[in-house]
Chain A
């Protein structure tokens, strides 16, 4: 067996597993860049997953399903934004509550759908590129949601660091009082950033239930929303690094199963713990350089903004 035969399925499995993590993490990144900390990602992803799955079952249309997943994510983050930005509730507590709420509500809505089946969202290999060894099958023969995810990554990176609106968003995350004094509508922009984050979490959930697993079961995401939250810190609030981090997670997750299937005699529990070990190692490496974190973490993250203060 040559190395291409080993690497190709590994890379393909890793990329597919990484996409929902990346989508949710990118959404949260934009939210956090505006200074809002939304810990409700897991609950929002679950609502996106069941929203997308239920609507797909009812209408037979995968795309209506995906839109419904995004809408469910927006609705969840609207609740969060109203509580924290208008009513000034504590962001950490509200985010945790939102996750608990999402787990319960998605389970409740999902009851009739646990036996349902939906059509496959077919892969669309790009002619030519998809025959490149290793990379072809993994990144050039994704399903449409996979390509959409790649576009979103580029768009978000461009928006944050190359557009004027992105600059305003970041300045609000760093110094909301100053931005307010200059005349920017801090609360309105934070609302938009939070709703966008919710839409991305909803899309991540939709990808997971409709694009990847094609089924619904209670608590389907099994903690991936929390991994996405950790990824944002892991990537020191940078879009490119967020994508790389998600990929790293995907590789390590895929590796544990590949190694077992290949008969490599490593205790499976040790392999299962690899993603978490990798996170800790990278966090330690990043934290050695305090400036890296200080430069990139939005200075007002998690702090409520009072227009009068």
Chain B
């Protein structure tokens, strides 16, 4: 009997070990939560390279969200060299588990910790309170503290530029949108995309299908196929995998990439990708913390800051007119002359939501919970 228990435990332990190696391969973070917080001040006081840590929800191999952040981490390494030691912890689940990771990173002497997923917010708030000497930065959050800043990218500006292209390219006037989870960020992207597409081509309808998950390639594929089945000849997405692009390539229609350049997954299908560039922000922030000039101010960079753009436009599939229109719209947004959320904007039911002449401010944009006219699909009502 005892032998059985031993063997079972040994096999469990072996499995855990392999998981741990697989998931945190190139990090220096130790899984042990028992690291003493007393070491923190000692470690951080010593002169030497500044510790910068990145906490990822996935692994950077994805063409997508974590991949885009990893490009920023690499830029930091390339620019600051010996002056920084960069630590990455991958596949950190959201919620209470992440707190252990943040505490561990702070107690190991890192001076600057980036948390790159929305669900880390509360863990970071708690950890920041206990480590006043460490600067924390949380991507896409809204809670802050004296040593906890928030940063985000105006992904809706990238979606808006994609909409300009989509409106030009669609022949069936049906554009399919594979959407992840119904939160304001995603709804805002759908709205900004639709506004641009219908400005170019008022007949365009944007069909939205929610997969209610941040990650499930199987569902993404089914959603994309349903949209094609319903007549969509252009697919837009707010999910991370390249499945949507592959479906478009198989069905000989077109699609947009999201978060990073996805052209290799569908050389013919790919119209353009709305790609995020976090590196400028990361370089600036590391520099500020190093010089001691960092102040907590929420950051929401976009086209103006060169943090989002429509990249890798397909030479054959995107007509010259669309290319010109995208450049013009890009420059107008960059120069502050245009904002997609400027009235008059009508809601799904045709009633005016934003009156002419009014532009939504950032707070209002953060709370968008309505679809604009031209979107077909339902939003869960509270």
- The chain A residues found within 8 Å of chain B, CB to CB, are 9, 13, 17, 83, 87-90, 93-94, 96-98, 100-101, 103-105, 107-108, 110-115, 117, 120, 208, 212-215, 217-222, 224, 253-254, 257-258, 260-263, 265-269, 272
> B23 contacts A107, CB within 8 Å?
yes
CB atoms of A261 and B218 under 8 A apart: no
A257 to B19, Cβ gap below 8 A? no
Q: Is the CB of B4 within 8 A of A90?
A: yes
Q: Flag if B4 contacts A254 (CB, 8 Å).
A: no
Q: Is B222 an interface residue (CB 8 A)?
A: yes
User: Which residue of A is nearest B264, CB measured?
Assistant: A117
Nearest A-chain residue to B26, judged by Cβ: A111
Which residues does chain B contribute within 8 Å of A101, judged by CB atoms? 11, 14-15, 18-19
Contact with A along B1-22 (1 / 0, CB 8 A): 0011101100110111011111
- Determine whether the beta carbon of B378 is less than 8 Å from that of A265: yes
Name 6 A/B residue pairs within 8 A (Cβ), A-sorted.
Answer: A105-B18, A117-B265, A254-B226, A258-B229, A260-B210, A260-B223
Q: Chain A at the B interface: mostly helix, strand, loop or mixed?
A: helix
Q: Are A93 and B182 in contact (CB under 8 A)?
A: no
A47 to chain B, nearest CB (A): 12
Tell me if A261 and B230 are in contact (CB < 8 A).
yes
* Interface class of chain B by DSSP: helix
List A contacts of B219 (CB < 8 A): 222, 253, 257
Docked-complex contact A100 and B16, CB < 8 angstroms:
yes
- What interface size band does chain B fall in? 35 or more
Question: Chain B 212-223 against A: per-residue CB contact (8 Å), 1 yes, 0 no?
Answer: 110111110111
A111 near B59 (CB under 8 angstroms)? Answer: yes
Task: Say whether B378 contacts A217, CB under 8 Å.
Answer: no
Instruction: Please give me the residue from chain A that is nearest to B241 by CB atom.
Output: A217
Given contacts A87-B4, A224-B218, 9 further A-B contacts (CB under 8 A): A17-B222, A96-B12, A97-B15, A104-B22, A108-B21, A218-B59, A222-B218, A257-B209, A262-B230
Query: B59 is contacted by which of A98, A114, A213 (Cβ under 8 Å)?
Result: A114
- How many Å from the CB of B83 to the closest CB on chain A? 28
Given known A-B contacts A94-B8, A111-B61, A214-B246, A261 and B207 have beta carbons under 8 A apart = yes
Q: Which one of B8, B227, B232, B242 lies within 8 Å of A97 (CB-CB)?
A: B8
Give the shortest distance, in Å, between A232 (CB) and chain B (any CB).
20
How many Å lie between the Cα of A120 and that of B250 in the bound state?
8
Q: Which 10 A-B pairs have the closest CB atoms?
A: A104-B19, A114-B61, A108-B22, A9-B229, A101-B15, A257-B226, A268-B210, A261-B226, A261-B230, A104-B22
Min CB–CB distance B9 → chain A (angstroms): 8
Against A, the Cβ 8 Å flags (1 = close, 0 = not) of B55-94 are 0001101110000000000000000000000000001000
B15 touches A213 (CB 8 A): no
Residues of A within 8 A of B23 (CB): 104, 107-108
Tell whether, in the assembled complex, residue B4 and residue A88 are in contact, meaning their CB atoms are under 8 Å apart. yes
